[in-house]
């Protein structure tokens, strides 16, 4: 019997009906495309011709331009007039929203309708490629077969490979998703069903619909360390896919984190039990408030008696011997996941995290069972490591038309003379949308055949639109990101700077590095000092500068570093107003988008000063 654990069965049913019959494109052939076949495919699959791209190459589209009316969509209940004013394509539309990384204002979120055409040609095609390739037992060598590329008129065929259309169960799937906004889910407007959700959750819902015979669990990040969640995962059949943030898996390897999660869940259950057992109106009202607060009552899978008995068994064992029980469940979880493929982005992982992840998943270095993906709400699935014999490079899927922008030059990805730059995407969604600015910087590794890019997708710098508490730092606009282009130099990957310094010095990991952009650049490094003597600070600051000069960073940055002032200061603060814990509560309850929780390795502060006549931040920072 199929096992399903779901946060919203109605929502999944919407996707099951929508995607039923959608097969997507034949992705197997993509692996063998040469450069010309790939270019033929992107024009054919999108329906946009090459001359249209060339004639519109200077046009830039911000995703805000084709976003729906967010003010209407933030209403919990829409009336028929609201629904008509949205001018949606589908009678029962699926709408996704962004995560709000640049600020916590819900009204600033961008919303997009996933039309039937976009669903099948972009989303289903891309998600099928990602998951089919992850299910395949070909981790050391690719599928052996001849290319049936566009020159053989098969570019636009629906999937017909034995891998894509094997309807047998391909193994169980585990998904963890962010808590939705308060208005997310399925609502009814007259005779229409309106679906709202994060773009991130959309991909998981599509995957569940594409593999209807597979057992699955889909739950929220906030439940990742609950006893019930761990036992649900263990109750599934053989697990083939686990699509969760990598830090969740590393926390599963932390006994303290699991113990805290188990204790919190059991404490919440006792509160609920006490309230239910009393026939007191006030307590019942408190129960309703508690359930609406985000600490919701555990929902077991229908009448799954076997799971319920297992839960009671381990609840009792944990209460008697917490440490032993946590260790037992950790070992069972490791064994359960040892054959699974992890689907995740790995941009921000450092060496220590890679080592921890390999340890828990039972991977040998170079034989990681991992599918690295790049998916954007505005553009859909863009690239992934769909060739398991080449698992360190993401293959760019021919579903949209990519342009690389750098130094005021724009070229098709396959024709660019640069190795990295800002990614622009053209796609068809009822009409051509040219050069959507993704705000991301990619690194091109191969363009002789189908383009391959690095798995590190970098966010171009942006202004933080969130109330921040700033202590012992100059006033000014706060700029965040991974990639910064200033007047005199570029910072291509801020993680490289942080990693380089943290390997040699006692860096305070709770605080980022700050680059003050003023008359003279000043780099504030949060290093913990044992002594507060000026001479010690001076010597250490010089050592930090010397270490940075041999880090794997760009030559123009190394040159600029010679004139940097280095300040060591662990007593700095740059954090959202109210604190991270308060933000976390609001995200869990759906009051704020999940993007506000993002922490960056480095911030640039453009210092406010009447005397600061130097404009260091390049206006064309993404170019």
Greatest mean pLDDT among 314-328, 527-541, 559-573 lies in 314-328
Mean pLDDT of 129-154: 56
Q: Poorest-confidence range of 125-129, 181-185, 350-354, 480-484?
A: 350-354
The β-bridge partners of 394 are 453
Cα–Cα distance, 90 to 14 (Å, whole number): 13
| Model pLDDT for residues 220-254, shown as the tens digit of each residue | 999 999 999 999 999 998 999 999 988 899 999 99
Question: Phi first, then psi: what are they for 73, rounded to 5°?
Answer: -75, -15
Q: Is residue 595 part of a domain?
A: yes
Instruction: Name the pLDDT band for 547 (thresholds 50, 70, 90).
Output: confident
Q: Is residue 622 part of a domain?
A: no
pTM of the prediction? 0.86
Cβ atoms within 10 Å of 97's Cβ, excluding its own: 26
By the 8 A CB rule, do 463 and 622 touch?
Answer: no
Question: Phi first, then psi: what are they for 124, rounded to 5°?
Answer: -65, -40
Q: Is residue 618 part of a domain?
A: no
What are the Cα distances from residue 141, in Å, to 159, 240, 539?
21, 18, 52
Secondary structure class of 247 (helix, strand, coil): helix
Instruction: Name the pLDDT band for 1 (thresholds 50, 70, 90).
Output: confident
Degrees, nearest 5: CA angle 466-592-15: 135
For residue 19, the model assigns a pLDDT of 95
Residue 597's domain spans which residues? Answer: 461-607
Give yes or no: residues 515 and 476 share one domain.
Answer: yes
Give yes or no: residues 207 and 356 share one domain.
Answer: yes
289 or 122, higher pLDDT: 122
Mean pLDDT of 84-100: 91
- Positive or negative CA dihedral for 346, 352, 354, 360? negative
Mean pLDDT of 344-372: 86
Instruction: Name the pLDDT band for 466 (thresholds 50, 70, 90).
Output: confident
Cα–Cα distance, 165 to 168 (Å, whole number): 9
Give yes or no: residues 439 and 468 share one domain.
Answer: no
Q: What is the dihedral of CA 529, 533, 535, 536, to 10 degrees?
A: -20
Mean pLDDT of 274-295: 47
Helices marked H in 476-591: 494-504, 534-549, 555-561, 580-588
Average pLDDT of the chain is 84
Query: Which of 222, 389, 229, 393 is CA-nearest to residue 299?
Result: 229
What are the Cα distances from residue 2, in Å, to 173, 187, 264, 337, 479?
12, 27, 30, 19, 48
* Residue that is last in its domain, among 453, 481, 497: 453
Q: Is residue 617 part of a domain?
A: no
Instruction: Name the pLDDT band for 622 (thresholds 50, 70, 90).
Output: very low
Q: Is residue 175 part of a domain?
A: yes
Q: Is residue 507 part of a domain?
A: yes
Give yes or no: residues 243 and 98 share one domain.
Answer: yes
| Model pLDDT for residues 168-227, shown as the tens digit of each residue | 457 899 999 998 899 999 999 888 899 999 999 999 999 999 999 999 999 999 999 999
Give yes or no: residues 186 and 145 share one domain.
Answer: yes
Give yes or no: residues 443 and 491 share one domain.
Answer: no
Q: Is residue 391 part of a domain?
A: yes
Going by their DSSP bridges, the two strands 513-517 and 602-607 should be labelled as parallel
Q: Which residues of 219-257 are buried (b: 16+ CB within 10 A; e: fewer)?
A: bbbbbbbbbbbbbbbbbbeebbbbbbbbbebbbbbeeeb
* Lookup result for tokens 């773009």: 199
Strand order in the sheet with 192-198: 111-113, 94-97, 192-198, 185-189
Cα–Cα distance, 520 to 565 (Å, whole number): 8
208 or 137, higher pLDDT: 208
| Model pLDDT for residues 431-449, shown as the tens digit of each residue | 999 999 999 999 999 999 9
Query: Which of 135, 358, 329, 374 is CA-nearest to residue 249?
Result: 358
Residue 594 scores a pLDDT above 90: no
* Residue that is last in its domain, among 432, 453, 474: 453
Mean pLDDT of 72-78: 89
Q: 422 Cβ partners below 8 Å, 6+ apart?
A: 404, 405, 406, 437, 438, 439, 440, 441, 460, 622, 623
By the 8 A CB rule, do 175 and 217 touch?
Answer: yes
Query: In total, how many domains does the chain have?
Result: 2
The β-bridge partners of 172 are 239
By the 8 A CB rule, do 616 and 487 touch?
Answer: yes
Cα–Cα distance, 19 to 213 (Å, whole number): 14
**HEC sequence for 414-465:** HHCCCCEEEEEEEEECCCEEEEEEEEEEEEEEECCECCEECCCCEEECEECE
274 or 268, higher pLDDT: 268
Give yes or no: residues 200 and 336 share one domain.
Answer: yes
Give yes or no: residues 420 and 512 share one domain.
Answer: no
Give yes or no: residues 174 and 52 share one domain.
Answer: yes
Give yes or no: residues 442 and 494 share one domain.
Answer: no
Q: Is residue 371 part of a domain?
A: yes
For residue 510, the model assigns a pLDDT of 77
560 or 272, higher pLDDT: 560
260 secondary structure, DSSP code: H
Q: Poorest-confidence range of 82-91, 238-247, 526-535?
A: 526-535
Going by their DSSP bridges, the two strands 401-406 and 394-396 should be labelled as unpaired
Mean pLDDT of 149-157: 40
Query: Which of 24, 28, 58 is CA-nearest to residue 405?
Result: 58
271 or 57, higher pLDDT: 57
346 or 33, higher pLDDT: 33
For residue 578, the model assigns a pLDDT of 78
410 or 504, higher pLDDT: 410
For residue 147, the model assigns a pLDDT of 42
Question: Phi first, then psi: what are they for 454, rounded to 5°?
Answer: -70, 150
Give yes or no: residues 384 and 502 share one domain.
Answer: no
Give yes or no: residues 373 and 513 share one domain.
Answer: no
* Residue that is last in its domain, among 453, 484, 512: 453
């Amino acid at each position: 019997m199929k096992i399903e654990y779901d946060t919203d069965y109605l929502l999944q049913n919407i996707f099951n009906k929508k995607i039923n019959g959608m097969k997507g494109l034949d992705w197997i052939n993509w692996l063998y495309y040469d450069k010309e076949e790939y270019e033929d495919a992107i024009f054919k699959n999108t329906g946009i011709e090459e001359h249209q791209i060339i004639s519109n190459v200077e046009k830039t589209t911000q995703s805000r331009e084709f976003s729906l009316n967010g003010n209407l969509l933030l209403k919990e209940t829409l009336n028929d007039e609201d629904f008509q004013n949205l001018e949606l394509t589908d009678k029962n539309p699926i709408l996704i929203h962004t995560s709000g990384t640049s600020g916590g204002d819900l009204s600033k979120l961008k919303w997009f309708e996933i039309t039937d055409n976009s669903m099948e040609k972009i989303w289903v095609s891309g998600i099928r490629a990602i998951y089919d390739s992850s299910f395949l037992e070909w981790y050391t060598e690719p599928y052996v077969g001849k290319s049936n590329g566009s020159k053989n008129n098969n570019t636009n065929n629906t999937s017909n490979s034995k891998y894509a259309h094997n309807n047998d169960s391909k193994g169980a799937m585990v998904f963890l998703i962010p808590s939705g906004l308060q208005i997310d889910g399925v609502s009814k407007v007259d005779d229409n069903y309106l679906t709202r959700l994060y773009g991130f959750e959309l991909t998981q819902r599509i995957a569940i619909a594409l593999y209807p015979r597979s057992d699955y669990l889909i739950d929220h990040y906030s439940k990742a360390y609950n006893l019930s969640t761990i036992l649900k995962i263990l109750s599934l059949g053989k697990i083939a896919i686990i699509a969760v943030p990598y830090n969740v898996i590393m926390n599963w390897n932390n006994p303290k984190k699991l113990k805290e999660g188990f204790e919190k869940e059991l404490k919440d259950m006792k509160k609920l039990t006490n309230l239910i057992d009393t026939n007191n109106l006030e307590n019942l009202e408190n129960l309703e408030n508690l359930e609406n607060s985000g600490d919701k009552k555990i929902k077991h899978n229908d009448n799954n008696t076997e799971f319920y008995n297992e839960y009671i068994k381990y609840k009792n064992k944990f209460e008697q011997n917490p440490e032993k029980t946590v260790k037992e469940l950790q070992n069972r979880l490791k064994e359960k996941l040892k054959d699974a493929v992890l689907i995740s982005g790995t941009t921000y992982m450092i060496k220590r995290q890679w080592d921890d992840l390999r340890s828990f998943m039972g991977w040998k270095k170079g034989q990681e069972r991992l599918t690295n993906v790049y998916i954007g709400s505005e553009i859909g699935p863009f690239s992934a490591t769909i060739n398991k014999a080449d698992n360190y490079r993401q293959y760019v899927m021919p579903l949209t038309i990519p342009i690389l922008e750098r130094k005021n030059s724009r070229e098709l990805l396959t024709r660019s003379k640069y190795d990295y730059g800002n990614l622009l995407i053209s796609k068809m969604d009822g009409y051509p949308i040219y050069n959507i600015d993704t705000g991301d910087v990619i690194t091109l590794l191969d363009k002789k055949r189908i383009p391959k890019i690095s798995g590190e997708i970098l966010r171009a710098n942006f202004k933080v639109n969130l109330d921040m508490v700033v202590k012992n730092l100059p006033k000014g606009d706060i700029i965040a990101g991974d990639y910064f282009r200033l007047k005199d130099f570029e910072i291509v990957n801020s993680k490289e700077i942080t990693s380089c310094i943290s390997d040699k010095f006692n860096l305070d990991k709770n605080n980022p590095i700050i680059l003050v952009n003023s008359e003279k650049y000043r780099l504030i490094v949060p290093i913990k000092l044992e002594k507060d003597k000026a001479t010690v600070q001076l010597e250490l600051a010089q050592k930090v500068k010397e270490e940075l000069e041999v880090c794997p960073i760009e030559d123009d940055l190394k040159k600029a570093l010679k004139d940097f002032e280095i300040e060591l200061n662990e007593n700095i603060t740059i954090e959202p107003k109210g604190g991270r814990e308060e933000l976390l509560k609001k995200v869990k309850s759906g009051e704020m988008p999940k993007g506000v929780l993002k922490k960056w390795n480095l911030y640039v502060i453009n210092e406010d000063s009447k005397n600061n006549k130097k404009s260091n931040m390049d206006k064309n920072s993404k170019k």
